[in-house]
A and B are shown apart, each in its own frame.
Chain A
Amino acid sequence: MKLKLSVPAAAALAFAATAATPALAQQIVKIDGSSTVYPVTEAVAEEFQKAKKNVMKVTVGISGTGGGFKKFCRAETDISDASRPILKKEMEDCRKAGVEYIELPVAFDALTVVINPQNDFVKQLTVAELKKMWEPAAQGKVKSWKEVNPSFPDVALKLFGPGSDSGTFDYFTEAVNGKSKSSRGDYTASEDDNVLVQGVSRDKGAIGYFGFAYYVENQKKLKAVPIVAKDGAPAVAPSMEAVLKGTYQPLARPIFIYVNKKSLAKAEVKEFVDFYLTHGAKLAREVKYVPLPDSAYKVNKEHVAKGKVGTVFGGEAEVGVTIEELLKREAKS
C-alpha cells in the first residue's frame, strides 16, 4: 500500500523538479570563499536579511579563498570572500569565463603569531626568526627553540598552522618566507583554527599563527607574540590600533570581497554591496576585525558606482600595503 503511493509521488516529484528548475524566482545573493572573511560577511548577511525582512536572501559558504575563486570564476557565485588578492591564475580563469569583477577591501586583519602562555622565554620574535622556523630549509632540521635563537632554551619546537588551501597560509609564507606557499611541510596543519588553538594551548614549546579574532576569543589559552619587522625596529604586538596606524608589519593584511560585475545588475546584489559598505565598519569591529577608515568605504562606493573592474595587485602576492596606498592604486584587469 505504502509502495503504491510512493511510486507516483516520486514520479511527480521528479517531473516537478525539472519543471521548477528554471523558475528561480527567489532573490538570493550567493557568496563563498575565505573562512577568514566569513565572520564579517556573515554578520553583514545576518543584518541585511533582517533589514530586508527576509525577502532578499544571502548564503555564505566557506571553501577557502582559492576554492571560492574557483566557483566565482565559473560564475557560480555573485561575491567571493578573499583573505588575499586574486592571483594571476585566477584572473586568467575569470577572464576566460568572461567574469568581470570589482575588488573591494572591506577590513584589515592582524595575522597573529601565538605561543603557549607557559612559554616565558619568548618576549618577541623577529621576522628573521620566524623565517628560521618556517622556511622550507628548516624541514626536519630546526626542531628546538635553541636553534631559532641561541638565547632560547633547548625546548622542542612544535609548529601549528593553516593548510595550504588557506589564504592565511599564502599571506604568512609570503610575508615571512618571501614566497607565497613556500613553507616547511612538517607541521600540524588544519583548516580548522580551533584545532590550532587546542594544539598551541597544550604544548609549552608550541607556536602557531592565525587570524586576530581567534586569538582575541582565546586570550586565556594563548599568548600573542610581538613582532619585530626588521632589525632595530620596535616590537609591535597585534592590536586594532597598531593595524590602523600601520605599525603592525608585515603581518597586517587587507581582506576583500570580489563582486561579479554582471551580478551587480541584480537588485539584491547591488543592495547587499551597498549595505556591506555602509555597515561593514561597525560589524567588522564587532567581530574583532579592524575596520578601514570611513574614506576607504567612500572610495569603495565610488568604485562600485563607476563599475571599476580589475585588481590593484596585478595578480602578485604583496605584503605591507597600507590602507591609503591600497585605495589610491589604479586597477589592472
Chain B
Amino acid sequence: MGATTTGTDLHAGKLRALRALIASHKRWDLFFASVGVLALMFGILAFVALFFDMAVDGVPRITPDFFASFPSRRAENAGILSAWVGSTLVMLVTALAAVPLGVGAGVYLEEYAPRNWMTDVIEINVTNLAGVPSIVYGLLALGLFVYQFGLGQSILTAGLTLALLILPVVIVATREAIRAIPVAIREGAYALGASKWQTTHDHIIPYSMAGILTGVIIGLARAIGETAPIITIGALTFIAFLPPPPVQATAPFVNFEWLTSPFTVMPIQMFNWTSRPEEAFQANAAAAGLVLVVMTLVMNALAIYIRYRLRRNIKW
C-alpha cells in the first residue's frame, strides 16, 4: 500500500513537474508572440497614425480641381496637375530604361555568365548598388546626364536617373525569379534539342515573368517617392505648364519633345509646399502626400495582383 502510495506520489510529482514545464513553455510562447505582435504593431501603427494625420489635414483639399490645377502662390488655387503628369512621364521613362537593362542583366548573370571571379565581382557590386544612398545617384546623374551628355534638367534625365536607382532591384528580382524555376524545366528543354536562347526565351522568361514584374513595380513604387536625386539634378522648380503631349494630330503623330521638357514631380511639389510660410500650404502638402501614398499602395497592390494572376497559370 505504502509502496503504491509512494509510486503514485512519485508519478503525480513527475506529472506536476511536467505540467509546470509545459506551462512555462507556453508562457514563453505567449511572451514571444506578444513581443512579435508589439513589434508588428509598432510599424503598422506608426504608418497608420502618419496616414491618418495626413488624411485629416489633406482630405478636404482633395477635389477634382486639385488634380486639374497648376501650382499657385494662392494655396486654395494650387494643385498637382504638373506634378502628377511629371511623375507619370518620368516613371514611363524609368520603366522603359530599367526593364530591358535590368532583365537583360539578370538573365545574363543567371543563365549565361561563366562562374569565375569576374562574375563574382559583378554580383557583389550589384548587391551593393542596391544599398547606395539615392543622393549619390543624383550626383552621378548631375555630372553624367546633365553636363556630360547635355540632357539638361529634363524628364529624360530624371527618368534615366531613377532607372539607375532601381536597376539593382530589377536585376535581383529577375535573378530570384529565375532561380525559382526548377532545373528540370531547363533540362527538359535541352533534352528536346532547344538552344540556350530558345530555352531562355520560351521557358525561363515566361515562367519568371510574375517575379520580374513584381520586382519592377516595387522598384517603380520606390522611385516615384524619391526626392533627393531629382533635387540634385536641379528640379526644385515652380512649373505651371505641362510638357508637350507625346501624341499629336498631325504626322508623324508621335512627338518626343516632352523628353527634353522641364518638369516637376509629386515629392518635389510636396517639398516645395512644406517649405512655405503660409499655414494653408501645409494642407496642400498633406493632400499631395496622401495622393503619393495611395499611388504607391496601388502600385504595390498591382504587383501582388499580377503575381497572383501569372502564378495561377503556371503548373509544374
Contacts and interface: CB of A to CB of B under 8 A. Distances in A.
A and B: interacting chains: yes
Contact of B96 (A6, A28, A39, A217): A6
A197 B274 CA distance: 13
Interface stretch (B19-27, B46-54, B254-262): B254-262
B257 A217 contact: no
B97 A213 contact: no
Interface in B173-219: 205-206, 209, 213
Given A6-B100, A39-B73, A60-B238, A193 B260 contact: no
A197 B73 contact: no
A36 to B, nearest CB: 12
Tell me whether chain A's interface is mostly helix, strand or loop, or mixed: helix
Given A16-B259, A23-B257, A26-B257, A59 B238 contact: yes
Contacts of B73: 39, 42-43, 46, 286-287
A13 B277 contact: no
A9 interface: yes
A193 B277 contact: yes
B260 A20 contact: yes
B96 A13 contact: yes
A57 B241 contact: yes
Indicate the member of B73, B103, B254 with the most A CB atoms within 10 Å: B73
Contacts of A49: 240-241
B6 interface: no
A10 B209 contact: no
Interface residues of B, number: 37
B274 A20 contact: no
B260 A59 contact: no
A16 B277 contact: no
B148 interface: no
Contacts of A26: 244, 257, 261
A21 interface: yes
A149 interface: no
Interface string B226-242: 00000000111111110
B240 A20 contact: no
A107 to B, nearest CB: 15
Contacts of B278: 217
A58 B241 CA distance: 8
B156 interface: yes
B256 A62 contact: no
B99 interface: yes
Interface in A1-54: 1-3, 6-7, 9-10, 13, 16-17, 19-21, 23-26, 28, 30, 32, 35, 38-39, 42-43, 45-46, 49, 54
Given A59-B238, A217-B278, A16 B256 contact: yes
Given A6-B100, A10-B100, A194-B274, A61 B237 contact: yes
A17 B259 contact: yes
Contact of B275 (A54, A63, A71, A193): A193
Given A45-B240, A46-B73, A21 B260 contact: yes
A197 B275 CA distance: 11
A49 B260 CA distance: 20
A257 B110 CA distance: 57
Given A26-B261, A42-B73, A9 B96 contact: yes
A20 B96 CA distance: 18
Contacts of B262: 28, 30, 59
Interface in A197-224: 197, 213-214, 216-218
Contacts of B151: 17, 21
A275 to B, nearest CB: 14
Given A3-B100, A6-B96, A6-B99, 13 more contacts: A3-B103, A10-B100, A13-B93, A16-B254, A17-B259, A43-B73, A45-B240, A57-B241, A59-B237, A61-B236, A61-B237, A63-B234, A217-B278
19 contacts: A2-B209, A2-B213, A3-B99, A3-B100, A6-B99, A7-B100, A21-B260, A25-B257, A26-B244, A42-B73, A46-B238, A54-B241, A61-B234, A61-B236, A61-B238, A62-B236, A63-B234, A194-B276, A217-B278
Interface of A: 1-3, 6-7, 9-10, 13, 16-17, 19-21, 23-26, 28, 30, 32, 35, 38-39, 42-43, 45-46, 49, 54, 57-63, 71, 192-194, 197, 213-214, 216-218, 286-287
